[in-house]
Amino acid sequence: MKTRRIALVVLGCIFGVAAFPAASEAIVGMGLGARVGIVPDFAHPTLSDLGIEPQDLSMYGAHATLLSVAQLSIELAAEVAYRDYQREIDLSAIGQAPALVEFGFRDYAGYATARYKLINGQFGVHLGGGLNIHRFTYSQQLPYDIPGFGNVLEIPDDEWHSGFHVLAGASFGLPMMPFRLFAEGRIAKINVSGDAARQTTFLVGATFGAF
């Protein structure tokens, strides 16, 4: 709970600076962009308890970048990582053939990241880190109505969690290009029911304006 409050305060401060750039002379540019990626590894204790190992989730999102000094930028990003799974259930007890259950998992996340550029030119290298907020949602659906069957899996209610992350990446851009391409690897730690879920993400994207 305390970590969530801190994350909300930090995000609120960053949004306030973004909305009122005149309040800080350090902000000299702004960029907007989009990203896509994959989450090859997500150590999630809640899903593990359900017998599901979330791997190879798809991810897409958008971001806004604020440039504060030559080497440092602050980025806000909104992302969703998702995957649907199928599990077979035995219905022989009611005289029916096995059926496939559709189980869905969604991670709606917000990231506030400070990025430091080790190399800043046509080809750039950067490191970063910051805070993240996540909303986990779970769903399941039978292919047809089966009398006597409710939820096959005892899935939890939707959850809010907070955490922190670190990343490393590279970027490329030319003076005549209106955008800059980038690729990043990110590791996030997320507080889940007293445990720490670990999420690894590889993403690529483009930013129009300041990076």
pLDDT of residue 184: 98
Check pLDDT > 80 for residue 8: no
Mean pLDDT for 30-53 is: 86
Check pLDDT > 70 for residue 7: no
pLDDT of residue 77: 97
The fraction of the chain above a pLDDT of 90, given in percent, is 45
Q: Among 112, 155, 153, 114, which Cα is nearest to 134's?
A: 112
The fraction of the chain above a pLDDT of 70, given in percent, is 75
Check pLDDT > 80 for residue 144: no
pLDDT of residue 68: 62
Q: Among 112, 100, 116, which Cα is nearest to 6's?
A: 112
pLDDT of residue 104: 87
Distance of CA 158 to the CA centre of its chain: 16
Return d(Cα 135, Cα 89) in angstroms, integer.
28
Check pLDDT > 70 for residue 174: yes
Q: Cβ-count burial of 188 within 10 angstroms (0-12 exposed, 13-18 middle, 19+ buried)?
A: buried
Secondary structure of 175-189 in HEC code, one letter for each residue: CCCCEEEEEEEEEEE
Query: Are the beta carbons of 33 and 3 closer than 8 angstroms?
Result: no
Mean pLDDT for 44-66 is: 84
Check pLDDT > 60 for residue 107: yes
Domains and CATH numbers, the chain: 2-209 (2.40.160.20)
Mean pLDDT for 139-162 is: 71
Return d(Cα 114, Cα 65) in angstroms, integer.
10
Return d(Cα 4, Cα 189) in angstroms, integer.
13
Cβ-Cβ contacts under 8 Å for 30 (sequence gap 6 or more): 18, 21, 64, 65, 66, 67, 209, 210
Residue 172: both structure tokens together: 């490329």
Mean pLDDT for 40-55 is: 79
pLDDT of residue 91: 67
Check pLDDT > 80 for residue 78: yes
Cβ-Cβ contacts under 8 Å for 65 (sequence gap 6 or more): 30, 31, 32, 33, 73, 74, 75, 207, 209, 210, 211
Question: pLDDT band at 30, cuts 50/70/90?
Answer: confident
Mean pLDDT for 53-58 is: 85
Tell me the β-bridge partners of 16. none
Query: Are the beta carbons of 9 and 30 closer than 8 angstroms?
Result: no
Region for residue 48 given its phi and psi (left: phi exceeds 0; alpha: psi -120 to 50; beta: otherwise): alpha
